[in-house]
Structure 1
Amino acid sequence: MTDPVVASTAQTASPAYLLPVADAAFLLGDSMRGVRFLMEFAKADEALRAWGVTSTIVVFGSSRVTENGPGDHARWYAEARRFAALASREGGALDGDGRPRRNVIATGGGPGIMAAANRGAADAGAPSIGFNISLPQEQEPNAWSTPDLTFRFHYFAMRKMHLAMRANALVVFPGGFGTLDELFEILTLRQTGKMRPVPVILVDKAYWTDLIRFEVLLANGFVSPGDMELIQFAEDGADAWRRLALSLPARE
């Protein structure tokens, strides 16, 4: 005798019956944190490979700087935009068409200096990258990063990895806690040999030397004389590009 046909609605309606890839509650659970890390790495990596991006120039700076802001804000915005345009025109970001795109401008994808740098790349007709982050106070991506290269991260750690792993250089304009966090992240990677040699250029020496007395670290033996050579200072965007162009790998 065969079993009578019984509707299995309760079974198919259960979350347990969902394919794992379609089960949002499962994917967002604690046990899948490692998988989410992998997904955040892989999605951006795949898109960057599709665009032929082999290296970047990372630009940091305050999200609070505005184009017509008070004090030095307008100047910093203009210089970040100027630098990114120069680097994009002359550094290899425009190559494409089967050739690798080198030294593509990469930012945190938000407003302020980040927007200025993405905008400078757009001025040059070049693609640029925005590595945005989900924050409690929602941060929208700026309007200048290339849409196909504008990513949204949940994990700061994975965002930092993408910022660092292709960088040929780091150019830092004046900023606050977030800018300092990213600056010292890269300096620590360089100091410890966890990152290949890349130039670190701080734009507007007066701002940086007023903010941080790097020589105090040396005087107290907390860094070595060689560590101090990890940092260069530039007065403006053009000066930053001149210094950088001397040390970048030669284009094919």
Structure 2
Amino acid sequence: MPQPSNEAQRSSPSYRLAALDQDFLLGDAMRGVRFQLEFEKAERALKAWGVRSTIVVFGSARVREDGPGSQSRWYAEARRFGVLASLQGGAVQDSGGVRDNVIATGGGPGIMAAANRGAVEAGAPSIGFNITLPTEQEPNPWSTPELTFRFHYFAMRKMHLAMRANALVVFPGGFGTFDELFEILTLRQTGKAPPVPVVLVDKSFWGSVITFDRLAAEGLIAPADLELFAYAETAEEAWARLLAAGLEPGRPLGPKPEV
């Protein structure tokens, strides 16, 4: 009697190697594993490059270098900040196998591209933590290719943005920028993060869209919470604010949050 074919067994989804079975890996039961994979992939690459600490720059993806109104100024200041922070913060030098204050952005266009571009012009690496969106977001061409990551989970992206941050510099932006800003402010307010300095660029913009003083006046935040951030108008002023708040080139600011 001839041996039956085992083609049905070999072609069954159950026979696929688990690590190569996308139907299995992308199923609901493996969400925790996918979460861990997103953490580990970026973590190993950052360690390989010796990235010990970062300066995170947020801002609108819709800002253009030649955009209307204040857009061109915001873009120019973000670009200049990328240069200044990279040159003076320690990202250019590989000091004993580590780099500090490396520019990190959301990896997209607009303000994020400007900050990554400035780092390139300073001769420093920079990081792009990109995210998959319904309308595909492409990575900007300025982040270091080996440090350009794509995440599915916003939570994991936020973790990587927060866990090495020595400082946060926030340019005008929309919902995404507000989301990241208040994430860090909440970590600061609740003591889940060290005293990471936060600088908001363009006081007139921020004052027109968020009345922080009203929150304090109504008792919704403590008056001391207004000291969790400062304002700046230029790249140089933003850098000075960070230094005044305790940022030191070539070293991490303090213990990182347990995120």
**TM-score of the two chains, using structure 1 as the length reference:** 0.96
1:98 deviates by 3.5
Within-5 A mapping of 1:134-173: 134-173=132-171
SS in 1 for 2:182: helix
Q: Does the 8 Å contact 2:89/2:248 carry over to 1?
A: no
Flag structure 1 segments of 5+ consecutive residues without an equivalent: none
Q: Deviations over 1:155-200 (max 9, x none)?
A: 0111011100100000000111111111001000110011111000
Q: 1:36 aligns with which of 34, 47, 51?
A: 34
Secondary structure of the residue aligned to 2:57 is: strand
Report % sequence identity: 68
Q: What count of residue pairs does the alignment treat as equivalent?
A: 250
* Aligned counterpart for 1:235 among listed residues 214, 233, 236: 233
> Deviation at 1:4?
6.4
* RMSD, aligned CA: 1.2
Partners of 2:236 and 2:78 lie apart in 1 by: 9
Alpha-carbon separation, structure 2, partners of 1:250 and 1:63: 28
Runs of 4+ in 1 over 2 A off after TM superposition: 3-7, 249-252
Which residue is 1:249 aligned to?
248
Distance in 1 of aligned mates of 2:190 and 2:17 = 44
Shift of 1:20: 0.4
For 2:235 and 2:96, the matched residues in 1 are separated by 30
Amino acid at match of 1:248: L
- Aligned positions of 1:64-83 closer than 5 A: 64-83=62-81
Q: Distance in 2 between matches of 1:94 and 1:250?
A: 11
Q: Where does 1:39-58 land on structure 2 (aligned, <5 Å)? A: 39-58=37-56
Q: CA deviation at 1:250?
A: 5.1
Length-normalised TM-score, structure 2: 0.94
Q: Retained in 1: the 8 A contact 2:88–2:249?
A: no
Q: Post-superposition shift, 1:112?
A: 0.2
Do the aligned partners of residues 97 and 12 (structure 1) sit closer, same or farther apart at CA in structure 2, a change above 3 Å counting? farther
Secondary structure of 2:69's match?
Answer: coil
CA distance in 1 between counterparts of 2:48 and 2:97 reads 12
The alignment partner of 1:229 has SS state of: helix
SS across alignment from 1:59: strand
